Structure formats: C-alpha cells, structure tokens
Amino acid sequence: MLAEDFSLKFKGFEPTEEIKKAIDALLRETHLKSPSQSFLKATFTLTNGIFEGVIDITSSAGRFVSKAVDPDMRHVGSKVFGGIRNELDRWKSRRSL
C-alpha cells in the first residue's frame, strides 16, 4: 500500500502510540479488502469528551462509509472498522452474484 492510498487524521487529541499502531494495522487490513485502486480516508475527532470515527473509501466500484461515536476511543475504532468491514463484505457478496 502506498502512502497516497490512504489518509489518517486525528483532530482534538493526540493518540497514544499503541492506538496509532492499532489503527494503522486495521487501516492496512481494510485497504487490502477494499476494491483495487481505492483511496481510504480515516478521521478520528475528539469533541467534548466524545470520540467520533469516520472511514471513507472511494473507488471506481463505489463509495463506502462507516461512522461511529463513543466516549472510549477503542470502542470507536472497533465500531467504525466493523462497520466498514460489513460494507465491504456486502459489496463483495453483490459482486459475486
């Protein structure tokens, strides 16, 4: 995966090294499951004690988006990556029909 294939931003907070590594690993895994020549954009924002995560994948096969909010960053990560995985799984099941 090339650096220009994805964008990762944190707004309103600086994540721990552990969280950065975990999210990076999940982004790489998600990018591998994405349609070819996809651009993956992930943004995590902290506002008033609530984390919001958004993953947006743009490709010629379509656009896939997942959003999640939670006071715990780990839960946001789990929810948002689970949501995007479900979106990609639905796309793959439709594609193979």
Mean pLDDT (the chain, rounded):
91
CA distance 70 to 46: 10
Q: 24-34: per-residue pLDDT in tens?
A: 899 889 988 99
Q: State how far the alpha carbon of 22 is from the alpha carbons of 4, 34, 62, 65, 93, in Å.
A: 19, 18, 26, 20, 27
What fold does the segment set 3-95 form as a domain?
Answer: Double Stranded RNA Binding Domain (3.30.160)
pLDDT above 70 (res 3) = no
pLDDT above 80 (res 96) = no
Q: What is the pLDDT of residue 1?
A: 46
Reported as type and span, the H/E element at residue 26 is: helix 17-33
Q: What is the pLDDT of residue 4?
A: 63
For range 41-64, the mean pLDDT: 96
Chain center to CA of 7:
10
CA distance 17 to 37: 29
For range 53-57, the mean pLDDT: 97
pTM given for the model: 0.89
What lies within 8 Å, CB to CB, of 9 at 6+ separation is 42, 43, 44
Q: What is the pLDDT of residue 35?
A: 92
User: Burial of 76 by CB count in 10 Å (0-12 exposed, 13-18 middle, 19+ buried)?
Assistant: buried
The domains of the chain are located at 3-95
